[in-house]
Amino acid sequence: MGIDEVQLNFNESTLLLMNILIGFIMFGVALDLKVNDFKRTLKTPKPFLIGLTAQFLLLPAVTFGLVMMLQPQPSIALGMFLVAACPGGNLSNFLAHLGKGRTTLSISMSAVSTLFAIIMTPLNTLLWGSLYGPTNDLLRSFMISPADLFMTVVILLAIPLSVGMVVNYRFPSWSQKASKWMRRFSIVFFILFVLGALMNNFGYFIDFVGMVVVAVFLHNALAITLGYVSARSFGLPERDRRAIAIEIGIQNSGLGLILVFNFFGGLGGMAIVAAWWSIWHIIAGLTLATFWSRKPPIDESLGDAA
């Protein structure tokens, strides 16, 4: 059986648990968010607009070019389009701080890009998937409803973020303590999430992960490079370049996994791309951030490390 025919299986209780867990992770992210984060973005919009453009316009387009070059199996290609359409991941703020990037920019980008993702993730997945013949055939076979996809993203992202921000506003001292705890264990939660996704399908993962390793490596490297080069091209300081590079390279592949199981029946290539990306971007992100942590930005006086 080929990777396009494989469907990872989940019972309803496991899928419900995964939905709750991704919502819980988003809630934890929101405990760090304040209205001032959005106001700060409006005061200095240039770095944010560059990052947002790279996130939702350039990365999907570059992904399309990579798919055209690699010609992977259709389900793998559709998984790449889906991951490219996701917003920044929940680990990006920690990695930006570790790598001496501008953490305030990373937080603002995470918050606003997650809100934009309510529209842009379904839109980019369906748009770019429909432009590539083999993935267009897959989309037709699943008959994806854009409205249903949109509502699912609202439930997974908008509601937990809104609740988290309200809790942070009403109970700031509790939120500050809880967010520190969430940051410390976010990697653990994320790994548990991925393991839960693979637990009943580990054999398929082992059989087919070799087919996606090169594609995910190139895809992730292109995403990081795209973020850094975009920021550099517009003359942003080094701290902003690092924050944007990490934000674009650390995708919310957990959201991608949930969408694969909710809308694509756990389609093999899509699920394995999202699962391996979830593992690889932690490795790549920690490696890059650690490297940057030992190289203070030359323009250190231009930004903050907090």
Q: What is the pLDDT of residue 165?
A: 83
pLDDT at 303 over 60: no
Cα–Cα distance for residue pair 20/91, rounded to 1 Å: 18
- Residue 264 main-chain phi, psi, to 5 deg: -120, 20
pLDDT tens profile 99-130: 988 877 887 788 788 888 888 998 999 999 99
pLDDT tens profile 131-176: 999 999 888 877 666 777 777 777 777 788 788 888 888 888 888 7
Q: In total, how many domains does the chain have?
A: 1
Q: What is the pLDDT of residue 64?
A: 97
Share of the chain above pLDDT 70, in %: 80
Q: Which of 288, 289, 245, 251 is nearest to 273 (CA)?
A: 251
Q: Which of 21, 46, 10 is nearest to 192 (CA)?
A: 21
* 6 within a domain of the structure (yes/no): no
Q: In which band, very low, low, confident or very high, does the pLDDT at 182 lie, cut at 50, 70 and 90?
A: confident
* 300 within a domain of the structure (yes/no): no
Q: Which domain holds residue 180?
A: 12-293
* 302 within a domain of the structure (yes/no): no
* 102 within a domain of the structure (yes/no): yes
CB 277 within 8 A of CB 253: yes
CB 88 within 8 A of CB 26: no
* 2 within a domain of the structure (yes/no): no
The CATH number linked to 243 is 1.20.1530.20
pLDDT tens profile 45-98: 888 899 999 999 999 999 999 999 999 999 999 999 999 999 887 678 778 888
Average pLDDT taken over every residue of the chain = 82
The 3-state DSSP class for residue 251 equals strand
Q: Which of 132, 141, 278, 256 is nearest to 209 (CA)?
A: 278
* 142 within a domain of the structure (yes/no): yes
From the CB of residue 225, how many other CB atoms can be counted at a distance below 10 Å? Answer: 14
